[in-house]
Amino acid sequence: MLNYIPRQDIDGEQFTLLPVSISALQHYSYCPRQCALIHQEQQFSDNIHTARGHAVHAVVDIPESDIAKGIPVERALPIYSRQLGLVGKADVVEFRDKVPYPVEYKHGGRRAKIHDDIQLAAQAICLEEMLSISVSRGAIYYFRSRRRREVVIDDELRTLVYQTTLAIRNIMNSEDLPTAFNDARCNECSLYEICQPKALTAQSTIKQMIDDLYNPGDKNE
């Protein structure tokens, strides 16, 4: 392990903020209800997509220090930000001239997804705080194509990380679950049977019909 990585430091001090998992940012960006079911209700279920994700991350889930093509590399590196109350693990961090370059592994096709970019930006922010060094770029590695997509960690992404972290902390402090969407993203979600988006949105529609039926100021006037 590189001697300037405080891998053990995360266990040594208390967070002043309720810790939020970095993976929760990716879940919230995809669907706030999915995030709440996983991180608030502790519910989870696998489907083909999550199973593929597990298989990909098995490649980088073992903590290891290495030198690849002359570049120091850390795998499964614990990271945190006390300022934002973020905790998590970076799949791979390369150190190019001692500047960290996080690489997040994904199983899907090579295309830009904001929820993946937010997760990567959160890793960059954690590394900046831990090492007191600016991190301006990282990459998403797509296992299927064996290709990378570089992501610039700009102010817009940093703001999204901050706003998403606050939103997740509000969910974790609440007893309410976010509303189900019942749209195209639900077809890919492993929590479909737990979430029951179709049934929940149907109930909402029926309730609205009942409310309109007995509303004296309805559309028939």
Cα dihedral 117, 122, 123, 129 in deg (nearest 10): 150
Residue 209 has pLDDT above 70, yes or no: no
Residue 7 has pLDDT above 80, yes or no: no
pLDDT interval class at 187 (50, 70, 90) = confident
- Mind listing the pLDDT tens digit for each residue in 128-182? 999 999 999 999 999 888 899 999 999 999 999 999 999 999 999 988 889 888 8
User: Cα(27)–Cα(51) distance, rounded to whole angstroms?
Assistant: 16
Residue 183 has pLDDT above 50, yes or no: yes
The residue-averaged pLDDT of 80-90 equals: 94
In terms of Cα–Cα distance, which of 129, 118, 64, 68 is closest to 91?
Answer: 64
- CB burial of residue 76 (10 Å; 0-12, 13-18, 19+): middle
**Mean pLDDT, the chain, integer:** 86
Q: What percent of the chain has pLDDT over 90?
A: 53
Provide the whole-model pTM: 0.82
Backbone angles phi, psi at 198, to 5 degrees: -65, -45
- Mind listing the pLDDT tens digit for each residue in 11-45? 556 678 889 999 999 999 999 999 999 999 888 88
Q: Are 91 and 105 in contact (CB under 8 A)?
A: yes
